[in-house]
């Protein structure tokens, strides 16, 4: 079962990469740029097919993918008569849209997955169904039974137990009229809450313990909740990226010295795949809860990857976007001085910086890979 979860993660990751690159492809074609290749994976070609001027295909190493847009730098040769279709000759606005389309679609994927989670699968909530009736309590005296579903409190329909239960806690011991559904039969039961002290907190209770389970939300509520959680994931991703350098020493210790891995620390692709496998194979979760947890993992991963890709460092898309913005800033200053627009910045000039960043990212990726293999993160699912 764990292998199934890992395979599902790999497929989901490759689909996310493909959608990311498809964002670049669609916007580049929309602005008349020449896209010569669209591949999932790297290395040796396994399969490819020419469609128009673009070769679509799959390569041997399933570690990402790419969309090759011709003319990324002034030094790239373009077919005769198609020089104006080079990427570097496009306006900065068009460049920003093409470069940002991949990350934008990661955010869309995350939002759609979260919407699916809320509307189609449901989230774990306290249900208005009685799982246990405590002895000697008001609930037992009133005849409330295990399996009863509370449908209303004082005539108000129960729609959200987290909110509706406050009517019981704020009743001050006054009699409550409860609508009960018992085996398909609707009943009305009167009960008065009693003041009880639990874990040092005193409040009015009936003496019932509710069941928990998955509950779907309506379309509007799901749309709203998906937006809220997407924003929360974005905020947490920003915080994680800000803390990333400070977490590297701890990761080194966890890798070399075998210290316990921090579940909130850095995790690589292999680690996330392993966690996905744990979620799918957990005996403590129902089949739908496993699927929901898997969806949540993929959604959060997409949002993080989308944001990470926008970092203003080469060779990430965000680095190329920063160059395009710098071009516009230079052009603005040139206009203010009454001078012609300067030539676009040639990113090949920044190759040394790009290589340094690449080496750092590669080293971090390797460290994460080793850590995820020799000292993996274990979740208590």
Distance between CA atoms of residues 72 and 348, nearest Å? 10
Distance between CA atoms of residues 56 and 95, nearest Å? 22
Query: Active site includes 37?
Result: no
> Per the structure block, which two tokens stand in for 125?
């909530």
Beta-carbon count within 10 A of 105 CB: 20
Side-chain half-sphere exposure of 91, counting CA atoms within 13 A: 4
The secondary structure of residue 197, as a DSSP letter, is E
> Per the structure block, which two tokens stand in for 51?
């469609």
Distance between CA atoms of residues 183 and 195, nearest Å? 30
Give one word for 146, left, alpha or beta, with left for phi > 0 and alpha for psi -120 to 50.
Answer: beta
Q: Residue for token digits 């977490």?
A: 247
**Coil, helix or strand for 338?**
coil
Q: Residue for token digits 């890979």?
A: 369
> Per the structure block, which two tokens stand in for 148?
């009863």
Residue 182 Cα distances to 93, 125, 195, 209, angstroms: 63, 21, 27, 16
Side-chain half-sphere exposure of 233, counting CA atoms within 13 A: 27
In the beta sheet, which residues pair with residue 35? 69
The dihedrals phi and psi of 211, each to the nearest 5 degrees, come to: -80, 160
In the beta sheet, which residues pair with residue 57? 39, 48
Under a CB-based contact definition with an 8 Å cutoff, are residues 181 and 129 in contact? Answer: no
Q: Residue for token digits 């009699």?
A: 175
Which residues are marked as active site?
21
């Amino acid at each position: 079962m764990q292998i199934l979860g890992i395979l599902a993660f790999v497929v989901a990751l490759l689909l996310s990469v493909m959608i990311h690159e498809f964002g670049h492809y669609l916007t580049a074609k929309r602005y008349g740029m020449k896209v010569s290749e669209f591949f999932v994976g790297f290395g040796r070609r396994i399969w490819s097919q020419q469609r128009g001027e673009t070769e679509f295909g799959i390569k041997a190493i399933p570690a990402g993918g790419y969309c090759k847009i011709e003319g990324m730098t002034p030094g790239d040769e373009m077919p005769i008569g198609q020089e104006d279709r080079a990427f570097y000759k496009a306006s900065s606005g068009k460049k920003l849209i093409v470069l940002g389309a991949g990350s934008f679609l990661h955010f869309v994927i995350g939002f759609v997955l979260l919407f699916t989670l809320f509307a189609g699968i449901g989230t774990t909530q306290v249900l208005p169904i009685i799982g246990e009736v405590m002895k000697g309590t008001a609930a037992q005296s009133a005849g409330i039974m295990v399996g009863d579903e509370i449908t209303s409190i004082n005539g108000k329909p129960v729609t959200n137990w987290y909110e509706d239960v406050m009517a019981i806690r704020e009743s001050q011991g006054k009699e409550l009229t409860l609508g009960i559904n018992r085996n398909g039969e609707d009943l009305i039961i009167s009960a008065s809450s009693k003041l009880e002290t639990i874990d040092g907190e005193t409040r009015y209770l009936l003496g019932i313990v509710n069941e928990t389970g998955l509950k779907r939300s309506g379309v509007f509520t799901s749309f709203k909740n998906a937006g809220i959680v997407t924003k929360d994931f974005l905020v947490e991703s920003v915080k994680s990226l800000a803390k990333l350098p400070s977490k590297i020493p701890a990761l080194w210790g966890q890798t070399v010295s075998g210290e316990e891995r921090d579940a909130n620390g850095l995790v690589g692709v292999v680690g996330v795949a392993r966690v996905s496998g744990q979620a799918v194979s957990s005996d403590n979760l129902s089949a739908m809860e496993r699927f929901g947890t898997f969806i949540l993992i993929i959604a959060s991963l997409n949002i993080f990857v989308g944001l990470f890709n926008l970092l203003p460092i080469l060779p990430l898309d965000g680095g190329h976007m920063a160059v395009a913005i710098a071009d516009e800033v230079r052009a603005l200053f040139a206009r203010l001085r009454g001078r012609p627009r300067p030539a676009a910045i040639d990113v090949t000039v920044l190759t040394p910086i790009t290589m340094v960043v690449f080496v750092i990212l590669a080293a971090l990726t390797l460290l994460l890979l080793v850590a995820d293999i020799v000292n993996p993160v274990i979740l208590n699912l």
